[in-house]
Structure 1
Amino acid sequence: MTRSSVDQEGAAPHARHAGGPGMGGETEGGRSDHRRDRGHKRRAEPGPPRPKRRILRWSALTLAVVILGTAGAGYLYYEHLNANIQKDKLNLGDSDVPKATPNAAGQTPLNVLLIGSDSRNTAQDLKLGGSKADVGRPPLADVQMLVHVSADRTNMSVVSLPRDTMIPIPRCTDPHTGHKYPALSLAMANESLGRGGPGCTVATWQKLTDIHIDHFMMVDFSGVVDMADAIGGVPVCVKQNVWSHTSDGHGSGLKLKAGTTYVKGQQALQWLRTRYGFEDGTDLGRTHAQHMYMSAMVRQMRKNATLTNPGAMRSLAETATKALKVDEGLGTIAKLYDLSEEFKKVPTKRITMTTLPTVQWSQDHDRLVPAPEDAEQLMSMVRDDTALDGRGAKPKATEAAAKTATDPDGKISVQVRNGTGSDTEAPAPQRASAVAGILQGKGFTQAAADTTPATEAKTTVLYPSADLEGDAQAVAKALGIPLKQVRKSTDVSGVTLLVGADWRTGTAYKAPAQPTKAPSTAAVLNGDKKDACMPVQPGFTW
C-alpha cells in the first residue's frame, strides 16, 4: 500500500486523522495536519455584470442551496458568474457504471457526489488553519457525500463516507498531465482526490458502490464563513456546554453554551470542523454534526426564501460560484439552476442523511472498513432507488430485461470465486469449488473454481463486455440469482460468479429480502428533524 495520506502526530507512523471536519481537518496548536480542512483557490476577476436569470440562493458548503434546493431569489450576473465556476473531468477511472434503468414513467435517479477538499493553496485557507508546509501538497477529499434523488423526485438520500475508511481506489489518469496512478487494493478514502482530481473520487465511489455518478460538486470550505454570514446564521444545538480544545493544542476552538445557537462566520466553520468535543471524538461524530448543520441550513434557507438586499445577494452569489468546482456537464449557471430545480422537488421531510456503516479495521483499529452487511444493505437500497426513510412504497421485485445467451450452457466458461469472507469473518472453506460443482450439475460443465481473492456481501455475476451479458444472465437464472445482481465489470476477463457472504452454505441460493429502511448503524437523520442536538464528548465541557 502507498504512504498514508495523513500527517503524523508525534512520530507514530499510523496516527489517526485527528483534525479536519466539515471540509477538512482541525488546526491543532498551529501545527500542520493533512486532516485539517482547506478549500480551493478563488478565481475570476470582477467584470461588468448583466442580469439574466433568476435562480436559487447559493452556499459553498456541501448540501447548500444548489444541493438541497432552496427557493430562488434575486437577479444574478449570469456571464460573470459563469466565469467564476471551475470545471474538471467527471470520471478519471478506467470504467464506468451504466445508468439505472428508467422507471415506467421514463424517469431515472439522479446521483451527485459532493466533495470537500482540504487544499491549503490560498492565503485565506492558511489563515483559517494549517501551515506553509501544507502548500502544494496533493489535496485530500476529507468530505465525501453521495446525494441520490429518486427517479420520481419524491425523496432524497444522502450517504457520507468517513474519511478514515479503507477502500479500494481504481487506476486513475490525471487529465492535465496524463500521469497514470496505479490502482490501490486498499487505501484511505480521502486519498482519491490527490490522484488526478475529483474525477478519481467519482471513479472510486463507482467502484465502491456500483452506482452511476451523474455529476460532482467540489467546494471550498473557506467560503463557509461568508456563506453563514450571508444567510443570517444556522441554528445548531449541543446538549452541554462544549469547548473543542485540549491542553496540547488539539481541537477546532468551538465554544458554545448548551442549547441552540445561531452560528455564523468562523464559528460555523468551527462547528463543521469539530472532532474533539462531539460524541466519542471520532470522525463519525463530526460527520453527524455536519448532517445536523446541513439539515438546519436547508430549513433556514427555505424558510427565508428571499434576500431583500441586492448587495447581499450579489455577495452570496460571488462567494458561492468562486467556491465551486464541478464536472463539465454542470459548468454553467443555467445547468446548476436546472439541477437545483430537481432538488427543490423533494420536501425536507423526505431528505434522509446517513453515514456508510463501518467497523474497525482488524489491521489498524484507528481505521475503518465498510460493515459487510449493513453497508451493502444501505448501498443496495440506493442502487434499487428505495427510500431510506421507510416512508416510500414497499419495493417491488424488478428484473432487468433478459438477454439471450450467445452460447449453450455447456460452452459457457464460468470462473467461480469465493467472496464469502469479510474483515470480521474468514471465507467459507472450499466454497468456490462447491458452487462450481453445483453449476456443473446444472449443465455448465466449464465452471471452475478461481483462487483470485474476493470479498462480496451479496452473490453477484460479473461480465466484462456486452456480448457476454446473456451468458452471465444464464448462469444467474440457473442458480436463482436475481438479474439485478448481474453487472458489467472490467475487473474480470470472462463470466465470473462471486459467491458472497449471503451464500456461505447450501446448494440453493436464496435471494435476501429487499430492505425497506436504512440500517440503524447508518445514523439516520431526517431533514425535517428540528430538535436534533449533539452529545458532547466527556472532558470537553466548560
Structure 2
Amino acid sequence: MTLSDVQKEETPRAHRRRPKRKHRVLRWSATTLSVLILGTAGAGYLYYQHLNGNIEKGERASGDSKVRRADANAAGQTPMNILLIGSDSRNSDENVALGGSRDTRGNPPLGDVQMLIHLSADRRSAAVVSIPRDTRVDIPECKDPDTGRTYPPTNTIINESLARGGAGCTLATWQNLTGVYIDHWMTIDFAGVVSMADAIGGVEVCVKQNVWDRPLPGVPGGSGLKLTAGRKKVEGKQALQWLRTRHAWGSDPLRARAQHMYMNSMIRTLKQQNVFTDTGRLMNLAEAATKSLKVSEEIGTVKKLYDLGTQLKTVPTDRITMTTMPTVEDDQDSNHLLPDGANAEKIWTMLRDDVPFDDKGTKAEEKKPASKEQASADPAADKDEIGVLVQNATRSSTLAPVGGRAGSVAQTLVDEGFTRATADVSAVLSEERTIVRYPSAELAGDAQSVAKSLGIPLSSVKKSTDVSGVTVLVGADWRTGTAYPKESTPEAGDLPGNSDEINGSDTKQCMDVYAPYRW
C-alpha cells in the first residue's frame, strides 16, 4: 500500500471531495483536443512533405542572358513575371496515348505553348502574352543542366528552345527577345493538363459552329476535338484537345486565342469555387498541381507555390488582359512567323515599364511613377580621363545589325571630350535597349557622365560584372543618329491593334471554326 493509499483510507469517505463532472469533462476534452491537434499536425506535416515530394524542379535559367530584374516602384514593389510552358513530351505511356505520334517517343520535348504571365508591382492588374510556337527567334547558347550538353546559339522557331537545355533555355530566349526579367517558369505536359482539368471540374468554352479537328486529305494530324456549336464544359482529355487544336481554328495565333479563352474561363471558375477557403477543393488541386507541374527551383515548395497563388488571386478578372505577341509572316518560310517589329517592342516596353494592358485602373495606377534616377555620390572624373568602350548591339530578333554604330557613337563621345573612347569592332551583340554598364561603384559617376553626354537616361546605367570598364552598348532602339532618341512611354491600355487582347471578364468570346473542320 502506498502513502497515497494510506492517506485515502484515513480520510473519511464522506469528507472526500470528488471532482465535479464538468471539470472531468473539460479535462477529458482538453486531453483529447491535444491528441487531435498533435495528430493533425503530424498528418499535416506528412501531407505537406508528400506534396513537396511531388514537385519536380529545374534550373531557372540555363542560357546566356544579360537581363536584369526590374527596379522597384516608389512603394518598394516589383512586378513578377512567370513563364508558362506547355510541353509536347511523349516520354510516358500516358502522354503517348494523349498526344499520339508514337514515333516521336523519347525525342526531346518541344514547347508548343508559351505564355508570359506579368503580375503588376501593385498586384492590381495582370497581363498574359503568348508567342506562337512557329515564331522564329534567336535562341542563345544553352547548357542542359541534366546532361551537361552545351547547345550553340541558333536562329529558329521558339518551340525548339525547350529541347536545347530545358525550360531554363526557353526562359533565357524570352529574356533576350523581350528585355523582361522573368522570375520563374512552370511547365506542364499532356497528362498534367488532363489532371488539372479534372481537378478543376471542367471549364466552359464556346464554338460558333460544330467543330471536329481531324485529319483531312493532305492535312494530317488534328487534336480530335469534336463539339457541337454553343457553350460547352470541357474537362480531362477534351480540355487537352481544346488547348491543342490548331487546324480547326485556322492558325497558330488563333490557337493562342482559344487558349486565352480557356485560361480566362478557368480563372473565373476557380474564383467562383472559392478554392482558397475550401479545404477539400484546395487539397485536390494541390495534389493535381504538384504532380502536374515542373517548376523552377526557387519556387519548388508547396508554401512558395501557395504564396504565388495568393498573389495571383488578388487580381480581379476585369484587370486581366490576355494577348498574343504581334507577328508578321516569315520572309524565309511562309509557315513561320516573325515578331512584328515596333508593335512587338511596344508590348515588351509596357511589360518592362509595368504599364497596365488595360485602362480600368485609377488615374494614379495608370500613371506609373518614374524610375528613380539618382546621381552617383561618387563624382565623375574629368572627361578626358574616363576610358569608354562602345559596342554595337543593334541586332535584334527582327532586325539585322546596323554596321558602324560603335564607331559612330565612339566618335560622338570623343567630340564631347571623352578622348579615351574607343569602338569595339570585334563583335555585334544584341540588346533591345541601349545601356551603359560599369563594373564597380567607383565608376558609377563616370558611367553616368557618359550617359548624360549621349542623352541616355540614368535608369539605363547599370552595374555589371560582365564588363571591365565603362561600356556603352548601342542597342536596337538607337539605329541611327548621334543623339539617343527620346523615348515615348506607352499609356495604360494602349496596346497594338494586332495583339488580339481579351479581357478576363469577357464571357461572350466564342471561337469561329475554319470551314473544312465544321460538321
Give yes or no for TM over 0.5.
yes
Tell which deviates more after alignment, 90-99 or 356-365. Answer: 90-99
Aligned residue runs from structure 1 range 471-510, under 5 A: 471-487=446-462, 495-500=470-475, 502-510=477-485
Deviation at 1:495, TM superposition (A): 4.5
**Letter of the structure 2 residue corresponding to residue 526 of structure 1:** N
**Letter of the structure 2 residue corresponding to residue 522 of structure 1:** S
Deviation at 1:379, TM superposition (A): 1.0
- The equivalent residue for 2:140 is 170
Contact 1:378 1:518 in 2 (8 A): yes
Per-residue CA deviations over 1:400-454 (Å, capped at 9, x if unaligned) read 4334476543332232527288847x76675554443332221123444555445
Instruction: Give identity over the alignment, percent.
Output: 51
Deviation at 1:313, TM superposition (A): 6.2
Aligned residue runs from structure 1 range 128-143, under 5 A: 128-143=98-113
Alignment match of 1:444 (pick from 418, 434, 449):
418
Deviation at 1:383, TM superposition (A): 1.2
Alignment match of 1:251 (pick from 222, 239, 244):
222
- The equivalent residue for 1:63 is none
**Letter of the structure 2 residue corresponding to residue 523 of structure 1:** D
Q: Distance in 2 between the 1:308 and 1:512 partners?
A: 46
**Letter of the structure 1 residue corresponding to residue 222 of structure 2:** G
The answer to whether 1:148 aligns with 2:118 is yes
Alignment match of 1:266 (pick from 225, 233, 237):
237
Alignment match of 2:87 (pick from 112, 117, 124):
117
Q: Distance in 2 between the 1:143 and 1:433 partners?
A: 41
Contact 2:209 2:228 in 1 (8 A): yes
Contact 1:357 1:374 in 2 (8 A): yes
The answer to whether 1:210 aligns with 2:202 is no
Q: Distance in 2 between the 1:315 and 1:524 partners?
A: 32
Contact 2:327 2:344 in 1 (8 A): yes
The answer to whether 1:295 aligns with 2:259 is no
**Letter of the structure 2 residue corresponding to residue 317 of structure 1:** A
Contact 2:438 2:447 in 1 (8 A): no
Q: Distance in 1 between the 2:231 and 2:95 partners?
A: 28
Q: Distance in 2 between the 1:270 and 1:529 partners?
A: 22
CA RMSD of aligned residues (A): 3.1
Contact 1:417 1:454 in 2 (8 A): yes
Aligned residue runs from structure 1 range 156-195, under 5 A: 156-184=126-154, 186-195=155-164
Tell which deviates more after alignment, 120-129 or 475-484. Answer: 475-484
**Letter of the structure 2 residue corresponding to residue 202 of structure 1:** L
The answer to whether 1:91 aligns with 2:64 is no
Q: Distance in 2 between the 1:457 and 1:51 partners?
A: 51
Over alpha carbons, which structure has the higher Rg? 2
Q: Distance in 2 between the 1:85 and 1:420 partners?
A: 39
Deviation at 1:477, TM superposition (A): 1.3
The answer to whether 1:220 aligns with 2:189 is yes
Contact 1:432 1:499 in 2 (8 A): yes
Q: Distance in 1 between the 2:92 and 2:185 partners?
A: 22
- The equivalent residue for 1:390 is 359
Contact 2:143 2:149 in 1 (8 A): yes
Q: Distance in 2 between the 1:375 and 1:489 partners?
A: 27
- The equivalent residue for 1:344 is 313
Deviation at 1:500, TM superposition (A): 4.9
Contact 2:391 2:472 in 1 (8 A): yes
- The equivalent residue for 1:512 is 487
Compared CA separation, residues 190 and 247, structure 1 to 2 (3 A): closer
Deviation at 1:509, TM superposition (A): 3.1
Deviation at 1:51, TM superposition (A): 5.2
- The equivalent residue for 2:330 is 361
- The equivalent residue for 2:8 is none
Contact 1:461 1:495 in 2 (8 A): no
Deviation at 1:126, TM superposition (A): 0.6
Deviation at 1:314, TM superposition (A): 5.1
Compared CA separation, residues 125 and 213, structure 1 to 2 (3 A): same
Q: Distance in 2 between the 1:497 and 1:308 partners?
A: 52
Contact 1:277 1:537 in 2 (8 A): yes
Contact 1:420 1:502 in 2 (8 A): no
**Letter of the structure 2 residue corresponding to residue 125 of structure 1:** N
Contact 2:81 2:184 in 1 (8 A): yes
**Letter of the structure 2 residue corresponding to residue 511 of structure 1:** K
Per-residue CA deviations over 1:255-277 (Å, capped at 9, x if unaligned) read 22222211222221111001001
The SS at the match of 1:369 is: strand
The answer to whether 1:409 aligns with 2:387 is no
Tell which deviates more after alignment, 374-383 or 403-412. Answer: 403-412
Tell which deviates more after alignment, 378-387 or 515-524. Answer: 515-524
- The equivalent residue for 1:319 is 288
Q: Distance in 1 between the 2:394 and 2:253 partners?
A: 28
Deviation at 1:125, TM superposition (A): 0.6
Q: Distance in 1 between the 2:163 and 2:501 partners?
A: 30
Contact 2:176 2:431 in 1 (8 A): no
Compared CA separation, residues 179 and 488, structure 1 to 2 (3 A): farther
- The equivalent residue for 1:532 is 509
Query: TM-score by structure 2 length?
Result: 0.81
Query: TM-score by structure 1 length?
Result: 0.78
The SS at the match of 1:463 is: strand
- The equivalent residue for 1:23 is none
Q: Distance in 1 between the 2:171 and 2:397 partners?
A: 24
- The equivalent residue for 2:44 is 52
Q: Distance in 2 between the 1:136 and 1:471 partners?
A: 54
Q: How many residues align?
A: 468
Per-residue CA deviations over 1:269-307 (Å, capped at 9, x if unaligned) read 1110010011xx221111111011000111011112259
- The equivalent residue for 1:67 is none
Compared CA separation, residues 462 and 93, structure 1 to 2 (3 A): farther
Contact 2:125 2:320 in 1 (8 A): yes
- The equivalent residue for 1:284 is 253
Compared CA separation, residues 518 and 484, structure 1 to 2 (3 A): farther
Q: Distance in 2 between the 1:288 and 1:205 partners?
A: 20
Q: Distance in 2 between the 1:113 and 1:307 partners?
A: 23
Q: Distance in 2 between the 1:399 and 1:306 partners?
A: 39
- The equivalent residue for 1:44 is none
Per-residue CA deviations over 1:110-156 (Å, capped at 9, x if unaligned) read 12221211111110111112333222211112222221211111111
Structure 1 unaligned blocks of 5 or more = 1-47, 54-75
The SS at the match of 1:512 is: coil
**Letter of the structure 1 residue corresponding to residue 44 of structure 2:** K
Compared CA separation, residues 465 and 114, structure 1 to 2 (3 A): farther
Q: Distance in 2 between the 1:107 and 1:98 partners?
A: 16
Q: Distance in 2 between the 1:148 and 1:432 partners?
A: 34
Q: Distance in 2 between the 1:194 and 1:469 partners?
A: 40
**Letter of the structure 1 residue corresponding to residue 489 of structure 2:** Q
